[in-house]
Amino acid sequence: MKPCWSFSSCLRLGGPALAALCLTASAEAATSRALVIGASAYDDAAVPALEGAGNDANLLYATLSQRWTTSDNIRVLANGAALERLPFVAAAPTRAAILSALADLAEQSRPGDRVLIAMSGHGAQLPINDPENHPEEPDGLDEIFLPVDVALDRSEGGLTIRNHITDDEMAVAIGAILAQGASVWLVVDACHSGTFERGTVVQGQPRFLDLRSVGPVVDGNASAPRAEDASLPADGYMDIPVPPGSGGTFVGFYASQPGQKTIELPFPAGAGEPDRVYGVLSYSLAHAMADADSASFADLARSVSRVYWSLGGGLPDPMFVGNLGARAMEESPQSRRFAVAWTASNQLSVLGGALSGLEHGSAVAVHLGDDAEPLFHAEVTELGLDRAEIEVVAGDPLRPDRSAELMAIEGLDPQRHRALWLADRAPALWAEAASPPLRAAPLRISMAGDVDSGALLATDAVTLVSSGEPADLRLMSAAGEIVATPEPGTDLPTIPLSVSVDAIAPVVDRLVRGRAVFRLARLFSATEIGSDLSASVTLADAGGPSCGAANGDSRASAPGRTTIRPCDQVFVTLTNSGPTPLDISPFYLDPTGALYYLTGYPDGRFFGLRLPAGGSADFTYVETGLPEEARASAGNMYLLMLAVPASEGNAYPVDFRFLEAAAPLTGNQRAAPGDDFGALLAAAAYETGTTRSVPDAIAGGALVIPLRVAQP
């Protein structure tokens, strides 16, 4: 069985042949190019329109524009209403335009270049005329992509289809790029195997056209070349002719597994906009690329899978093939730039949102034209998927507002004329993400039904909003208990919970603390100390239903498994590649937002974990599974390694285990006196003191290890 729209299931690469293929040019010399295809509105009325495919193209263009150092080499072939957000007019994704663009990529590519091909639209299957001569297609079917000019001609004898693109045509086009020594990353948010549906997916629009339902189907295209045998292990994957020694590698990201439908879903757009439809893969990929830097495609694939999981059950599972160990096509520019717009409601907004890495309260510096000095500073007040409303920061000497000075020079009153002045200059304004605020924005909680509003009090860390407003956590009464459900796409590390009325306040306190520490760990993972940390995780079946104490070192008993189950023993090896010894505080952030200090190393009950320069250290723990209040069978959890330089005068490693406590402790915490990182963690977790510092000014770092825990 083949994956959903995988061009005969992706790639005929594997084993030693795969290992032999590597990039031959340096990453610094490589050029990144992208072809983004989104087929939404079809010329033939018999082909259902897809609202999300054009949105996918717009979203991926915006994401790549912010992640790559230049957008000059991003080509978009798409149609649909969403393309109004593009800074140019996109050409229609016709068969001729797509094949021509692929040929251009082959002509332009050089050894070491990196090419992304992203395709969103309808997929289908087409019988092969002579299946006996094509054993690579055991089901006798070609997978096809439907450009917008696909034509379906019905007659009494069946159906003739024209202007489609077969998997073999795509394979030949991709093989031509690989032959130049370039590497190809193929992202396909389309489907061919809708007849093999796994369960029922609610609200999902399938991206599949069942051609065979109308009778015999005939290929009306002129004869096209088929992909040559690559002479590599097939495993049912796509036949891509890779010339020996070309240096090109292939990676494929597909929206679903064999036998599953690819779907598109509505997602809350935020910022007062109606829901917006995206393909689940495109949405998850943009979210994963914005959330963190990925060293390899394997890292990025894990991030995409976590977004899928966070969206709830009933969705297809993405599939990733090819050389996943290769360096991901992310360039991490020095700053993220966004266009600025003036909305009809007299509000400044930036053309970037949650999927661009912005958060509620994110700081942005707004510039005018080529002026390197910010015109003013602003903060995000309303957050959407790809757009955010901002408000000018006033009265902060560290973030001056020069717009008032310029208006005064022009003889204008800033109080009376600011809106008109900004509206006139909006086309020349651009914004860049400034140093992120270390204090998280308040947790927005919505209460519905007969939930007693007195159960929670609004604080600096919690804001109560009405049921119709954007929220991070929604509370609703059910059978005498309160169900707490996190909104998809928020930074809240939790799964749906069901708790008593009396327990809801402690649960919210726990979420606030876990969220604050989780957020700081992600920010400090980008520091020099954070970059020096790495880890490997292995699992072993601990045995026994009682989840007893750690059972020696039997880590080989569960090789290759990545989802942790109750009673599993988890082994972690931490490595410090930097020149400075580090003191590590290992924490477990569970799927309900609870934070636990891990003591499974020598003297772990008393001190932190000392990690020598250039050395490694191990710790272990036994998984206990999800708590009773969890309303899910699985959830994301994280290991957070919080690190500070070891003090030469302190023989005992310091730690931050005080963060486990529900309230700040006074005394007896083993963080070094005056330790900036410890003070920052305490201020963020317990909303005390100030958190205005930036990570670069604090000697600290972190490593975030994402994992998955599930009930057996």
Which ranges constitute the DSSP H helices of 68-163? 95-108
Instruction: For helices 95-108 and 167-179, give the axis angle rounded to 10 degrees.
Output: 20
Question: Which position has the higher pLDDT, 635 or 23?
Answer: 635
Q: What is the pLDDT of residue 415?
A: 82
277, 279, 256: which is closest to 267 by C-alpha?
Answer: 277
Exposed e or buried b per residue across 145-157, where buried means at least 16 C-beta atoms within 10 angstroms of its C-beta: bbbbbbbbeeeee
Question: How many CB atoms are closer than 10 A to CB 363?
Answer: 18
What's the rounded Cα separation, in Å, for the pair 271 and 288?
21
Whether the predicted pLDDT of 308 surpasses 60: yes
Whether the predicted pLDDT of 96 surpasses 90: yes
Whether the predicted pLDDT of 288 surpasses 60: yes
Mean pLDDT over each residue of the chain, to the nearest integer: 76
Burial of 435: CB neighbours in 10 Å, binned 0-12, 13-18, 19+: middle
Q: pLDDT tens digits for 423-465? A: 888 888 988 887 655 556 677 787 776 666 555 655 566 777 7
Exposed e or buried b per residue across 300-313, where buried means at least 16 C-beta atoms within 10 angstroms of its C-beta: bbbbbbbbbbbbee
The single-letter DSSP state of residue 412 is -
Whether the predicted pLDDT of 64 surpasses 90: no
In the predicted model, what is the mean pLDDT of residues 8-23? 31
The sign one gets for the Cα dihedral 132, 137, 140, 145 is negative
- φ, ψ of residue 698 to 5 degrees: the values are -125, 135
Tallying the residues shown for the chain, one arrives at 712
Burial of 396: CB neighbours in 10 Å, binned 0-12, 13-18, 19+: exposed
Question: Is the whole model's pTM more than 0.85, yes or no?
Answer: no
Q: pLDDT tens digits for 608-623? A: 999 999 999 999 999 8
Rg (C-alpha) for the chain, rounded Å, is 27
Q: What is the pLDDT of residue 215?
A: 58
- CA 162 to each of CA 7, 78, 193, 225, 612: distance values in angstroms, whole numbers, following the listed order: 18, 19, 20, 16, 65
Residue 48: CA atoms inside 13 Å, Cβ hemisphere, count? 13
The single-letter DSSP state of residue 191 is -
What's the rounded Cα separation, in Å, for the pair 345 and 367?
22
In the predicted model, what is the mean pLDDT of residues 219-243? 50
Q: pLDDT tens digits for 97-132? A: 999 999 999 999 999 999 999 999 988 888 776 655
Beta-ladder partners of 582: 611, 645
498, 421, 482, 418: which is closest to 450 by C-alpha?
Answer: 482
| 589: three-class secondary structure by DSSP | strand
Sequence-ordered list of residues with C-beta below 8 angstroms from that of 298, at least 6 positions apart, any chain: 320, 324, 325
Q: What is the pLDDT of residue 697?
A: 56
Q: Which of 79-93, 331-345, 516-530, 541-555 has the highest mean pLDDT?
A: 516-530
- Helix (H) and strand (E) counts in the chain: 11, 35
Whether the predicted pLDDT of 407 surpasses 50: yes
Show the tokens assigned to 37. 């295809």
- CA 516 to each of CA 140, 503, 510: distance values in angstroms, whole numbers, following the listed order: 54, 20, 10
Q: pLDDT tens digits for 29-52? A: 578 999 999 999 999 988 888 888
Residue with token string 């726990």: 510
Question: Which position has the higher pLDDT, 469 or 283?
Answer: 283
The sign one gets for the Cα dihedral 403, 404, 409, 413 is positive
101, 106, 105, 100: which is closest to 243 by C-alpha?
Answer: 106
What confidence tier does 545 reach under pLDDT thresholds 50, 70, 90? very low
Q: What is the pLDDT of residue 108?
A: 95
Show the tokens assigned to 622. 């036994």
What's the rounded Cα separation, in Å, for the pair 89 and 503?
54
Would you say 353 and 388 are in contact if contact means Cβ atoms under 8 Å apart? yes
| 53: three-class secondary structure by DSSP | helix
Q: What is the pLDDT of residue 68?
A: 79
In the predicted model, what is the mean pLDDT of residues 638-655? 88
Q: pLDDT tens digits for 372-386? A: 888 998 988 888 777
AA letter at 647: S
Sequence-ordered list of residues with C-beta below 8 angstroms from that of 69, at least 6 positions apart, any chain: 331, 333
E strand or H helix at 288: helix 280-291
Sequence-ordered list of residues with C-beta below 8 angstroms from that of 463, at least 6 positions apart, any chain: 442, 443, 444, 445
- CA 18 to each of CA 104, 233, 317, 364: distance values in angstroms, whole numbers, following the listed order: 26, 10, 24, 44
What's the rounded Cα separation, in Å, for the pair 574 and 546?
28
300, 168, 306: which is closest to 635 by C-alpha?
Answer: 306
What confidence tier does 177 reach under pLDDT thresholds 50, 70, 90? very high
- CA 415 to each of CA 403, 408, 626: distance values in angstroms, whole numbers, following the listed order: 11, 11, 54
Q: What is the pLDDT of residue 201?
A: 34
Show the tokens assigned to 179. 């032959």
Q: What is the pairing mode between strands 263-267 and 205-206?
A: antiparallel
Exposed e or buried b per residue across 69-92, where buried means at least 16 C-beta atoms within 10 angstroms of its C-beta: eebebbbbbbbbebbebbeeebeb
Q: Write the DSSP assignment of 305-360 as a string of letters.
A: HHHHHHT-SSPPPPEEEE-TTSBPS----SS-EEEEEE-TTS-EEES--GGGT--T
Show the tokens assigned to 109. 């590519």
User: Residue 320: which region, alpha, beta or left (left: phi > 0; alpha: psi -120 to 50)?
Assistant: beta
Q: What is the pLDDT of residue 672?
A: 44
What confidence tier does 134 reach under pLDDT thresholds 50, 70, 90? low
What's the rounded Cα separation, in Å, for the pair 322 and 254?
11
Question: How many CB atoms are closer than 10 A to CB 631?
Answer: 14
What confidence tier does 602 reach under pLDDT thresholds 50, 70, 90? very high
